[in-house]
Structure 1
Amino acid sequence: MILKDYLTKDPIDRLSTFLSTLSITNRTPEYYVNWEKVARETEKFELELHTLNYLIGKDNIREEALDLFTRQPQLLRAIPSLIASRDKVLDILSMDEHDEMTFDHLNFSTIDTNRIVDYVDFIDKAGLLEFLQCKANRSLVDYVYGVETGLDSNGRKNRSGDTMEGIVGRHVQKICQQYVLEFKAQATAPFIRENWGVTVPVDKSERRFDVAVYCPIRHKVWLIETNYYGGGGSKLKAVAGEFTELSQFVTSSADDVEFVWVTDGQGWKTAHLPLSEAFAHIANVFNLSMLKEGYLAELFYLSSINGKE
């Protein structure tokens, strides 16, 4: 019983085991680019971008741009994508040769047709007209596809957490199928009460647990939270404290509710003290290596097969 050996250790020894088996990464190949999102964001302005191809290589490009946007002002909606901006309403600071500052506000979502010259001035000063005239030599759709691929890297921080939820979710699903347990991703306290008849105290009314597992034999619920921290930082202390409090909160239920925290990442090696405090209060703290070794499967197994822990 690997899990039993782990749980009977004192918190310091459990922490040592945990830290010595942290994974070096949770980055699957899918982590790097969300191609579906890239395609979706590019296709939003595909028609406008095809039309803007007209400006590529024009000698008198400012005049051509002014004429084109005057006749088809809605083409301006594609400009933020061309300058790698998610914002569609831009606040702009300009400085003259005397360092006098002026502030402007341009809305690329709802085009002000009375300010076409101001839009073109901005596009010119942003360097986009020069790019279109001298450097762009391919379809702007292809160019924005590349821009969106770069912008998508900003979402990788959140994607790391999504990856952990996916890994743990698939792992839990296989175990539940094997032992005839019920589970729900992003489970709320109302769902658990209405479907399984178990009351879960929550610290926030909108609280969603990454995965909830229900054992009909024991009328027991496990609440699983998961995350991953590849780097250190002050946030880790807050996270450890949050999950310590959450564990104590949900397990105060009159029903049989148990808390499980699946976390990983080399970042935890920089947060030894707050993590040790969490280990003193939370028994079921596992990493990916422990899931691979069968800790979670063993946790569910005894309840589902024998009806006892």
Structure 2
Amino acid sequence: MREITYIDYINKNAVERLAYFMETLSITNRTPDYYVNWEKVTRETRKYELELNTLNYLIGKDDVYRETLELFKKQPDLIRALPSLIASRDKMLDVLNIDKEDNMDFYKLDFVNIDTDNLESYVDFAEESGLLNFLEHDANKSLVDYVYGIEAGLDSNARKNRSGTTMEKILNRNIVKVSKKLEIEHQSQATADFIKNNWGIDIQVDKSARRFDEAVYCRKTNRLWLIETNYYGGGGSKLKATAGEFIMLNNLISEPGKNINFVWVTDGQGWNTAKAPLLEAFGHVKYVFNLKMLKDGYLEELFK
């Protein structure tokens, strides 16, 4: 693959720019810290560390139902730790109950405001969920360590959003470095109000809550660049919708006469499933870059 400079890339037509963009897509943007947010895991576990250490008393008990009920009578606040033990973030649970005759009814359990007049319902839930059996037969010495493992597993659900956060961090690092070198200003999560109040430029936005991942401003030339970033490791309808959204956003805010330009930094093998909407976007958005282009200094050339 032949390397293309920023100037050569920008001067190509939409089809040619898209071809080079697709050729240089990254395989992944998953840095080592993508997999587990240990700070969050530790924070969520420590919320109930005292309760969990107390609940260790139940491990290995023969009559675990009776022991649990007696313990909850003495310390009902221990019940607040139960959702963590069954890998639930919810603290208010709606439960379907089915009896031996297949009769169904629903009930609600509040794990924040404990119903001390109905402690047996919590113990019944713990038994029917399999938690008491686990405590009696399978749990080891530390429920705190067990919940650490649960929280690490639950944290994997956040990985999809973490790809976008990683792109924001990569973009920010690049912009911080270039801004210092070129002596220009920048702001992460910039709003239209911030831009107006600090740089005196009015911009149109598609929604009042719009925050641009990065905004870069050169006071000497009064030029403004508004930047959005994302990453798609897999396909789906979201890619087409995003391409359409950024076409509209580009057409709304880009004003060459006022030196306002929209920049889109995106990457990921998912774009191989959405070349048609991406080509349409390339026909409208002049500045579409991927991670390799950031690595090759395209942002610095753009801001010069």
Please state which band the TM-score falls in when normalised by the shorter chain.
Answer: over 0.9
Report the alpha carbon displacement of residue 164 of structure 1 after superposing the two structures with TM.
0.3
Number of the residue aligned with 1:246: 249
* Maintained 8 Å contact 1:93/1:104: yes
Selected match of 1:174 from 177, 180, 194? 177
Whole-angstrom distance in 2 between the partners of 1:54 and 1:163: 42
Residues 201, 252 of structure 1: 8 Å contact kept: no
Cα pair 2:179 2:185 within 8 Å, conserved? yes
Who is 2:139 aligned against?
A: 136
Q: CA deviation at 1:88?
A: 0.6
* Divergent runs of 4+, >4 A: none
Distance 1:132 1:63 in 2: 13
**Counterpart check, 1:154 vs 2:160:** no
User: What is the aligned-residue identity percentage?
Assistant: 60
Alignment partner for residue 93 of structure 2, among 82, 90, 94?
Answer: 90
CA apart distance, 1:254: 6.7
Q: Does 1:211 align with 2:214?
A: yes
Distance (whole Å) between structure 1 residues aligned to residue 99 and residue 176 of structure 2: 62
Report what 2:82 is aligned to.
79
Q: Deviations over 1:255-284 (max 9, x none)?
A: 321110000000001001110110000000
C-alpha contact (below 8 Å) 1:226/1:263 kept by paired residues: yes
Structure 2: give runs of 5+ residues left out of the alignment: none
Q: CA deviation at 1:98?
A: 2.2
- Within the candidate set 195, 207, 230, 2:198 is matched to 195
CA contact (8 A) 2:255 2:261 kept: no
Give the partner amino acid of 1:294: G
Q: How many angstroms does 1:115 deviate by?
A: 1.1
- Count of residue pairs brought into register by the alignment: 301
Task: Note the 1:48-63 alignment, pairs <5 A.
Answer: 48-63=51-66
Query: Which residue identity does 1:121 align to in structure 2?
Result: D
Q: Which runs of 5+ in 1 are unaligned?
A: 302-309
Name the CA shift for 1:209/1:20 in 2 (closer, same or farther; >3 Å): same
Q: Partner of 1:280: helix, strand, or coil?
A: helix
SS at match of 1:80: helix
Displacement, 1:252?
Answer: 4.3
Give 2:132's aligned amino acid: L
In structure 2, what is the Cα distance between the partners aligned to 1:77 and 1:143? Answer: 16
Which amino acid in structure 2 is aligned with residue 32 of structure 1? Y
CA contact (8 A) 1:199 1:255 kept: no
Paired letter, 2:184: L
Match in the other structure for 1:304? none
CA distance in 2, matches of 1:112, 1:253: 64
Computed over aligned residues only, the root mean square deviation of the Cα atoms, in angstroms, reads 1.1
- Give the equivalent residue in structure 2 for 1:43: 46
TM-score of the aligned structures, taking structure 1 as reference length: 0.96
